[in-house]
Structure 1
Amino acid sequence: MVVTTERGRPRSTDRGLRPLGRELRAWPTILMVLLVLTVGIPLTITLTPAQDLRILGQHIAVGARTPDLSLEGPAGLVQIGNTQLDIPSVQVWGPLRPQLWLGPVQRNDDAAKVFDPDASAQATAQAVEQLRTGFVNWYLLAVVGVVGTALAIAALVGCARMLGILRRSRSSDVTVADVWHRCSGTLGRMALVAVTVSLVAWGAFGALAWSGTMRGLADVRSLSDLVGASRITPAPVGPVVTGFSGAVIGDSRAARVGGPPVADPEGDDVACERSADSLAAELDTMVPGAVRNLACPSATVAQGLRGPQQRGDVAVPPQVALLKQMPDLEFVVVAIGPNDVGWSDLIKYCYGVETCDDNLTRGEFDYRMAEFDREYAALLQDLAELPSTPQVVVMASYGAFPADTDPACADARGPAYAVGLTQDKIDLLTDRNDQLNAVLRAGAEKYGYTVAEPALRPLCSTGADGMDPDLQGLADRFAFHPTAIGSLRLAASVARLVGTG
């Protein structure tokens, strides 16, 4: 449609695509589009808060990684807020790369569903659906940010454009209102272009993220498939040692601190305070062949079994590294766990305060349990790769007190300055020992290893035969460690399993 102006010149009333096409070719609009793509969308991804979820009893947040300059990159996993891992199996084109935040790991009834054959499939399906919904919610929330940043950039570039027109104008009669009236249509088209480009780009990036994620997850069957595996196994240490059919690795319970010293010490026997009636020594009298004692007090999986351990001036080699130089092994006994979760610290704390079931220590225990779970898994893999493929017997952790402990018992009451252990505290210690044993059993069962369940007479109890507890009490130098009879009972619980695995 064409109309006539005051001066008789025709003026087009077409306000549709033609002005919009001219606007797309204008350099301010091109600059605006570049800012929207390179600044607006990355800023939106960075600032959009992750969506918090509760899946299988765990706190999980779903969002996206902070964009970088690469065209393609992996999705991400952040564990306990400070350990960031790439997920190499999930490669995504574009800046929108999913990320999960996990931890700390919680052990509760909901988490246990994944091990229940009847509930596992449904629990897994619900977890997947929650993750999908969480990311979709994050993505839709980010749309608001995408539109907002697009409009903000359009307004910024539009203001700069108006200021440029004012500076170029030679007439002092031209006002901001005149410029606004002249540019209002242009600014509206700029805003339309900015929002449209942002939404189209966001849709494209979302499609690329979805495609890359689904493609990467297609062949994932385990956590190691998802995040990759990086495990360094201890290298063999020392000369090849023959003549032993079995070996014991572990901590002070297996070394039997407090017992009579070894008659003819060799190697690290002195540094590790190994006793003549240790688990290995007692086992040596019950099974065919010699049994070597590699256990050392204060040993953990990381410092003692899989890594070196410092005992005074002596650097004790990793116990697993010594095992690798024993080609004739038929069985290996493993006694580990309490040092990894700080058991002695927990017991001392319970003796000293009115209640030790507070949120701080509960969180610390859960954190240590999660760390032990990972370290223990690496240890089990190391044992599975031993050259002689020996039978592995994992020893469960024994309880220190009976279920109905008399609070007047000296070992429960503790020193004069201590608050002492109540039944509630003993129940807490029993529950946490059960949690430790659940991890020990689950790992052993996964690899087909045998689990020994030692039945030691706890403190504050006396058997029908009138015998004392099988553990050293507070009056002894090494409280809560096996006595000579206790060490014998440990060995008996293992000996009956040797050769059955």
Structure 2
Amino acid sequence: MHKTSIAWRRWALRAAIPVAAAFLLLASLWMAVRITPLQSVTAAGQTVDVGAAAPGLGFSGPGEMDLFGQTIATQPQFPGPVRPRLRLTHITANAELEQLLGSSDKNSAGILGSQLSAGWLRYGLWESAVSAGIVVVVLSAVTGLRRYSLRRTVAVLASGVVAMTAVNAVGFVLLASGTPTALRHVHSLSDLVGRNAGYPVAPADGPSLNGVQAVVIGDSTAAAIGNRPVAHPSALDKACGRSADSFAEQLAAVNNWNVLNLACSGATVRTGLLGPQPAGSLSAPAQIAQLQRAPKARVIIVSVGADDLHWADLTRFCAASPDCDDRVTDAYFQQQTAQFVMDYRDLLTQLAALPGHPAVIVNQYYDPFGPDTSCLAAEHVDAAKAKTLQGRLDQLNTALQQGADAAGFTSVQPSFAGHALCSAEPFVQGPKDKAPLHPTAAGELAIALADQGALYEAERSPSTGQTSSGDSSSSGETSSTGGP
């Protein structure tokens, strides 16, 4: 009986060795994919990091595109369980602007695909070395604990390296042999996410507005909806909800600027900034087309994103639901965010291509709720719901900041600390006000101060030659907040 027990343990030990070895190899591959540095490639005015996504279970599927913190499945399908992971890190608009947006010149655009393919191959070599190193570390610990002889230790380590190399050869060379070819067929990032971006938006018709030093584009936050209307408003001013309390007006007064505020309530990147927007019975022209009528503007301030994500609808749904942190709502939000970051890239690219290269400031969104939500009890919004909504705003702000960083722009987040919705002196309009959760006049001033601080820092920085406070002597006007 004793001999049978010993034999059983020996058999179990021998059977466990290949299982443990397979686990070690696969775990090393998984870990190496996560820690191996991505390989940076530059082509067509953009810098992309190339690496591998976490291995999947299928033998083919999409890769991953990390765009401003949002993971998007690529349009091309790649063979093998190990597929590319790509991350956009830098945008520069130059002579290759059409490549960035989806060029028809496949010969020159092919440079990007070749660089991506080369980056993938370099990454594969680095990953093989890292995974082999992981195996060596683990096996060194095992052989040390078991006090193997030097000769046996070397044999075990060599066997581990050979086995890990074989696994990488199967994963990267054999099963993913078609990946380099697939990457070489990528002519622009639009090919990766399956979009056909349009050509740069043409300037709007009309005379040049040479006296404008700064332009504000964006949504209802920039329009300052719910506050005092602008003096002598046009029909479009009224339809867009533009206010005399907007941060555009505040910046105009402080700097003695002529600021053109093109913001319109309900504007999104695609419908409002890059394309026309219905505004009541009117149609607001594309804001980026209108701003090009101000060729001497040295500063562009952007406030956009909330309407792209249907923030108002999400807030109302959250208030009406027992719990707004459910999977369905989150999936909807992630889908809208993925769409937004792709549109946002198009906007950033076209802003970077503006003649004169004005300084661009991208405004993030403020925290409207703060720690106290007692005044929202009647609206069925408690601290947990407010935390969920703020978490989604934080995700939007992350995308706004990472996109601005990639384009070399400045991103700022105004602080409403101590002045949230339920505070004694809120910077946010309440549920019964004209535009709930939008900034009050004081809130717009806080945004203006954040932007002014960013402009001041940019002027002090010797590396930022394009930022200027403007030349107020070029025009006798000090403010122009309505549409032209």
* Same-fold status (TM-score > 0.5): yes
Q: Does the alignment pair 1:429 with 2:393?
A: no
Name 1:238's counterpart in structure 2.
205
Larger displacement relative to structure 2 (254-263 or 359-368): 254-263
Rounded Cα–Cα distance in structure 2 between residues aligned with 1:478 and 1:59: 47
Offset of residue 347 of structure 1: 1.0
Name 1:452's counterpart in structure 2.
412
The question of whether the paired residues in 2 share the 8 Å contact of 1:56 and 1:113 is answered with no
The residue identity in structure 1 corresponding to 2:328 is: L
The residue identity in structure 1 corresponding to 2:202 is: A
Name 1:493's counterpart in structure 2.
450
Offset of residue 438 of structure 1: 0.5
Deviations 1:91-138 (A, max 9, x none): xxxxxx95799xxxxxxxxx99998xxxx99xx759999xxxxxxxxx
The question of whether the paired residues in 1 share the 8 Å contact of 2:269 and 2:304 is answered with yes
Name 2:327's counterpart in structure 1.
359
Helix, strand or coil at the partner of 1:304: coil
Equivalent residue runs for 1:103-114 within 5 Å: none
Q: Percent identity?
A: 35
TM-score, scaled to structure 2: 0.58
Count of residues in correspondence between the two structures:
319
The residue identity in structure 1 corresponding to 2:257 is: G
Offset of residue 223 of structure 1: 4.0
Name 2:318's counterpart in structure 1.
350
Equivalent residue runs for 1:380-419 within 5 Å: 380-402=348-370, 404-406=371-373, 409-410=374-375, 412-415=376-379
Deviations 1:39-84 (A, max 9, x none): xxxxxxxxxxxxxxxx74798965489xxxxxxxxx9x9xxxxx99
Offset of residue 249 of structure 1: 0.4
Deviations 1:397-449 (A, max 9, x none): 111111x324xx22x2134xxxx122221111121111111000000001111
Select which of 282, 287, 292 maps to 1:324: 292
If you compute each CA radius of gyration, which structure gives the higher value, 1 or 2? 1
Name 2:430's counterpart in structure 1.
473
Offset of residue 273 of structure 1: 1.8
Do the aligned partners of residues 299 and 64 (structure 1) sit closer, same or farther apart at CA in structure 2, a change above 3 Å counting? closer
Offset of residue 231 of structure 1: 2.3
The residue identity in structure 1 corresponding to 2:377 is: R
Select which of 448, 461, 470 maps to 2:423: 461
TM-score, scaled to structure 1: 0.57
Offset of residue 327 of structure 1: 0.6
Name 2:301's counterpart in structure 1.
333
Offset of residue 230 of structure 1: 3.6
Instruction: Give the aligned CA root-mean-square deviation in angstroms.
Output: 3.9
The question of whether the paired residues in 1 share the 8 Å contact of 2:302 and 2:360 is answered with yes
Helix, strand or coil at the partner of 2:263: coil
Offset of residue 375 of structure 1: 0.6
**Structure 1: which 5+ runs fail to align?**
1-54, 66-74, 78-82, 88-96, 102-110, 130-206, 463-467
The question of whether the paired residues in 1 share the 8 Å contact of 2:231 and 2:244 is answered with yes
Rounded Cα–Cα distance in structure 2 between residues aligned with 1:379 and 1:250: 12
Rounded Cα–Cα distance in structure 2 between residues aligned with 1:225 and 1:235: 23
The question of whether the paired residues in 1 share the 8 Å contact of 2:213 and 2:298 is answered with yes
Equivalent residue runs for 1:172-251 within 5 Å: 213-215=179-181, 217=183, 223-224=189-190, 230-232=196-198, 233-239=200-206, 240-251=208-219
Deviations 1:450-479 (A, max 9, x none): 1122112211123xxxxx100100011210
The question of whether the paired residues in 2 share the 8 Å contact of 1:286 and 1:495 is answered with no
Helix, strand or coil at the partner of 1:297: coil
Deviations 1:185-244 (A, max 9, x none): xxxxxxxxxxxxxxxxxxxxxx99977653453697984575787421322112122200
Equivalent residue runs for 1:39-54 within 5 Å: none
Helix, strand or coil at the partner of 2:236: coil
Name 1:148's counterpart in structure 2.
none
Deviations 1:471-490 (A, max 9, x none): 10001121001111111111
Name 1:289's counterpart in structure 2.
257
Do the aligned partners of residues 289 and 128 (structure 1) sit closer, same or farther apart at CA in structure 2, a change above 3 Å counting? same
Offset of residue 335 of structure 1: 0.5
Rounded Cα–Cα distance in structure 1 between residues aligned with 2:126 and 2:423: 46
**Structure 2: which 5+ runs fail to align?**
1-51, 66-72, 90-118, 129-172, 459-463, 465-484
Rounded Cα–Cα distance in structure 1 between residues aligned with 2:335 and 2:56: 13
The question of whether the paired residues in 1 share the 8 Å contact of 2:366 and 2:414 is answered with yes
**Bigger RCO (CA 8 Å, 6+ sep):** 2
